[in-house]
């Protein structure tokens, strides 16, 4: 396998809303570059990057897949990312290691919710931004309408560098606004085209668009601006050079046109990714932390000491854990040892490989800026850094939002309980948005109902475990609104040593999000120092079971300030019990109440459905935060209790005829209205009694 140095690599994250054609475009790129011998189709289930059985069945991407090809003597690493809200954090992981973000916009729907979401992710990581309006061969597609939505969403920096030739089923090529040439494609999806003059009927439109492009590029470069004013034009070479610098600086977002599924205008786009997209070292040095936690920078160069960032983990039932990484500096070699500077453990690397979807290609070394994989690291996970022991360096981890929905799961076969735990542990290494815990029953939490359904399908497909799902649970919390003191005495006399513990504890509310704090104000040895942690443990255990309805108690402080002990009968266990007793006594006086999770919700609906959706949100106790008009659609931002959103997907589909979309993520906890607390408490107590 050919080895590429940093300057000859382009790392491209292909992102956008679900259904915008990302996987089809990736498939066409691989085909045109000769990396595969047929044009894979999503509907046929034979694309390189959608290889998971569930992806093939649902015809959507569920996780980021890595593929590569050579184009114009340059290696293109393509990160095909999911575009559905439940899986959008996968795109964030890809942008962490990409140097170019290629945003797919559907030529029919224009800019949609998740395209705006990934644009915000780019603000976090700073890749060069390019935009492609895809699927221009579809009925009701429109480059001009879609481009209008692009400028509304992303600003005037978005400028066409191509214009389409033809519309809908007659879309047959593009005009390059830099070189002022047309590329007209033949039928048959082979990517064959002829270069020719700009069509006569498009000359006025092309001249105007070319002038706009030249002005935008010259605007950010004094020398080009001066020449443009003097001569009224720039050469193709000057425009190309200026455009590359403008893209790198974030002053221009070039907009392309294509139909990936029919392989029209894909090759000019690949030319642009090579010519205009930055190499890994073009974006400057990378930020990291040294061994003492100080901010430092390091060149992205093969001459530097080795460092690599693990950006994704794949849980393979047969190959074990496969770690996908970007070499940030140096040259990574197989059969060598490095330090995991995140977990402070040593790692021995076996064979290195490049991934082509599910297939791996062995390689002798991987240089700075390139992406690769390694199997069976013993103690390395997503977000960890591998580095040369003599020059340790650590890259900051991506912090993920909390899951928004939970289900109780139980195995269909009683003997599978241990198997489930092991399988979920493996899947949790792969899926950063998956959480599971035991709270009387096994609770599985994720980003939405589709996410959980996919996890259940993979449990069966990959690990041979079938489970039943119970209705989603709202993760209520309990808290207190008042301050109280409690005196607890645990005294028990049995044969031999008895049990004795006495403590005075003050409980007081804290601000939202503070969780739990413990204080010690005991003086004079009324409780020996070694027993103080036992009081805290007792309170901790009791608070997790709550007081009102069995939900964890949060946002309060417990301070032990006095007590008594017995030289013989006191023990850690006795003070632990006393701490638990103090919690239960104080809660009766602290004005306990229930908290519910509030979600930030963004809903995009056709203009004519806005009234129905707003009325429905009000009935769900939603608070509208703002509305924007985007073409023929309305974007509504609101805060809504999670309890009211569990059945929202089918309701929105019904109200909008399937044309609405929504995204939600956790915002904060808020007190439940008084008239609803009794109902929730009664339902929870009935549920707990049924389990007893």
- DSSP-derived letter for residue 41 is -
Q: Is the pLDDT of residue 425 over 80?
A: yes
So what's the pLDDT on residue 190? 92
For the domain made up of 478-590, give the CATH fold.
Answer: Ribosomal Protein S5; domain 2 (3.30.230)
- Separation between Cα atoms, residue 12 and residue 29, nearest integer Å: 12
CB of 508 closer than 8 Å to CB of 556: yes
Structure-token pair, residue 504: 């005075």
Let me know if the fold of 406-473 is the same as that of 597-675.
yes
What are the respective helix, strand and coil percentages of the chain, to the nearest 5? 35, 35, 35
Interatomic CA distance for residues 587 and 508, integer angstroms? 10
CA–CA separation, 475 vs 458, rounded Å? 25
Q: What are 52-80's pLDDT values in tens digits?
A: 888 998 999 999 999 999 999 999 999 99
* Residues 141, 167 contacting (CB under 8 angstroms): yes
**Does 399 score more than 90 pLDDT?**
no
- Give the pLDDT confidence of 241-255 residue by residue, as tens digits: 999 999 999 999 999
Distance CA 42, CA 44 (A): 5
- Round to whole Å and give the CA distance between 578 and 542: 11
One DSSP character per residue, 82-123 reads: --SGGGTHHHHHHHHH-SEEEEEEETTTBS-HHHHHHHHHHH
Structure-token pair, residue 488: 């607890």
Query: Which superfamily does 406-473 belong to?
Result: Elongation Factor G (Translational Gtpase), domain 3 (3.30.70.870)
Mean pLDDT score across all residues of the chain:
92
Proportion of the chain above pLDDT 70, given as a percent: 99
Give the confidence band of 320 by pLDDT, cuts at 50, 70, 90: confident
Predicted confidence band at 658 (pLDDT cuts at 50, 70, 90)? low
Q: Which CATH superfamily is domain 8-281 in?
A: P-loop containing nucleotide triphosphate hydrolases (3.40.50.300)
Q: What is the pLDDT of residue 496?
A: 67
CA distance 592 to 576: 22
Q: Which two tokens mark 250?
A: 């974030």
Fold of 597-675: Alpha-Beta Plaits (3.30.70)
Report the 3 state secondary structure along 280-327: HHHHCCEEEECCCCCEEEECCCCCCCCEEEEEEEEEECCCEEEEEEEE
CATH superfamily of 286-387: Translation factors (2.40.30.10)
- In order of 332, 344, 349, the CA distances from 329 in angstroms are 9, 19, 17
Strands 100-106 and 128-134: parallel
Angle at 514 between CA 511 and CA 515, to 5 degrees: 125
> With contact defined as beta carbons under 8 Å apart, do 392 and 459 qualify?
no
For 232-260, the three-class secondary structure string (H helix, E strand, C coil) is: CCCCHHHHHHHHHHHHHHCCCEEEEECEH
> pLDDT digits over 177-236, tens only?
999 999 999 988 999 999 999 999 999 999 999 999 999 998 888 888 888 787 778 888
What's the pLDDT score for residue 259? 96
* Separation between Cα atoms, residue 506 and residue 480, nearest integer Å: 12
Pick from 625, 610, 618, 621: nearest CA to 656: 610
Distance CA 257, CA 260 (A): 10
How confident is the model at residue 611, as a pLDDT? 94
Domain ranges of the chain: 8-281, 286-387, 406-473, 478-590, 597-675
* Rounded Cα gap, residues 77 and 67, in angstroms: 6
């Amino acid at each position: 396998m050919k080895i590429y140095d940093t300057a000859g690599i382009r790392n491209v994250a292909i992102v956008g809303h679900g259904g915008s054609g990302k996987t089809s475009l990736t498939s066409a790129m691989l085909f045109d570059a000769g990396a595969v011998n047929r044009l894979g189709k999503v509907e046929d289930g034979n694309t390189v990057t959608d290889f998971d059985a569930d992806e093939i069945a649902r015809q959507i991407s569920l996780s980021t897949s890595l593929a590569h090809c050579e184009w114009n003597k340059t290696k293109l690493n393509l990160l095909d990312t999911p575009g559905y809200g439940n899986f959008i954090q996968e795109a964030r992981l890809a942008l962490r290691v990409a140097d170019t973000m290629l945003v797919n916009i559907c030529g029919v729907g224009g800019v949609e919710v998740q395209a705006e979401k990934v644009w915000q992710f780019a603000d976090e990581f700073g890749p060069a931004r390019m935009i492609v309006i895809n699927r221009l061969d579809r009925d009701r597609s429109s480059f001009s309408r879609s481009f209008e939505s692009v400028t509304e969403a992303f600003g005037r920096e978005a400028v066409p560098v191509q214009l389409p030739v033809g519309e809908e089923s007659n879309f047959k090529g593009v005009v390059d606004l830099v070189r002022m040439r047309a590329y007209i494609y033949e039928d048959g999806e082979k990517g064959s085209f002829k270069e020719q003059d700009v069509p006569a009927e498009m000359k006025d439109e092309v001249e105007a668009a070319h002038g706009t492009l030249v002005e935008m590029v010259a605007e950010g470069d004094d020398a080009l601006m001066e020449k443009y004013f003097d001569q009224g034009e720039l050469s193709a070479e000057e425009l190309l050079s200026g455009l590359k610098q403008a893209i790198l600086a974030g002053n221009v977002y070039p907009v392309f046109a294509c139909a990936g599924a029919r392989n029209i205008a894909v090759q000019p786009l690949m030319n642009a990714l090579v010519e205009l997209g930055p190499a890994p070292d073009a974006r400057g040095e990378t930020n990291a932390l040294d061994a003492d936690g100080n901010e430092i920078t390091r060149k992205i160069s093969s001459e530097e000491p080795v460092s690599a960032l693990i950006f994704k983990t794949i849980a393979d039932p047969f190959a074990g854990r496969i770690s996908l990484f970007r070499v940030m500096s140096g040259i990574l070699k197989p059969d060598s040892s490095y330090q995991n500077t995140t977990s402070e453990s040593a790692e021995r690397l076996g064979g290195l490989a490049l991934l082509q979807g599910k297939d791996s290609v062995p390689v002798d070394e991987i240089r700075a800026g390139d992406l690769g994989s390694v199997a069976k690291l013993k103690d390395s996970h997503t977000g960890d850094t591998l580095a040369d022991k003599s020059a340790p360096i650590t890259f900051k981890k991506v912090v993920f939002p909390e899951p928004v929905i939970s289900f109780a799961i139980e195995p269909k076969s009683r003997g599978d309980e241990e198997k489930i735990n092991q399988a979920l542990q493996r899947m949790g290494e792969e899926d950063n948005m998956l959480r599971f815990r035991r709270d009387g029953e096994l609770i599985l939490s994720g980003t939405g109902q589709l996410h959980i359904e996919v996890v259940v399908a993979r449990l069966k497909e990959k690990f041979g475990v079938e489970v039943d799902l119970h209705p989603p649970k709202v993760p209520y919390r309990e808290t207190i609104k008042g301050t109280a003191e409690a005196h607890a005495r645990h005294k028990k006399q049995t044969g031999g040593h008895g049990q004795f513990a006495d403590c005075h504890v003050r409980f007081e509310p804290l601000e939202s999000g503070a969780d739990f704090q413990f204080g010690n104000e005991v003086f004079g040895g009324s409780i020996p120092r070694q027993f103080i942690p036992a009081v805290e443990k007792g309170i901790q255990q009791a608070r997790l079971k709550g007081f009102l309805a069995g939900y964890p108690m949060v946002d309060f402080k417990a301070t032990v300030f006095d007590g008594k002990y017995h030289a013989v009968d006191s023990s850690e266990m006795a003070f632990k019990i006393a701490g638990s007793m103090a919690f239960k006594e104080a809660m009766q006086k602290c004005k306990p109440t229930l908290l519910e999770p509030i979600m930030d919700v963004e809903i995009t609906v056709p203009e004519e459905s806005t009234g129905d959706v707003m009325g429905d949100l009000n009935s769900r106790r939603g608070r509208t935060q703002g509305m924007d008009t985007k073409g023929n659609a309305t974007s509504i931002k609101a805060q809504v209790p999670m309890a009211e959103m569990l059945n929202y997907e089918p309701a929105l589909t019904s109200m909008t005829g399937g044309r609405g979309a929504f995204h939600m993520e956790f915002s904060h906890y808020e007190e439940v209205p008084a008239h609803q607390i009794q109902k929730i408490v009664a339902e929870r107590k009935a549920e707990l009694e049924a389990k007893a």
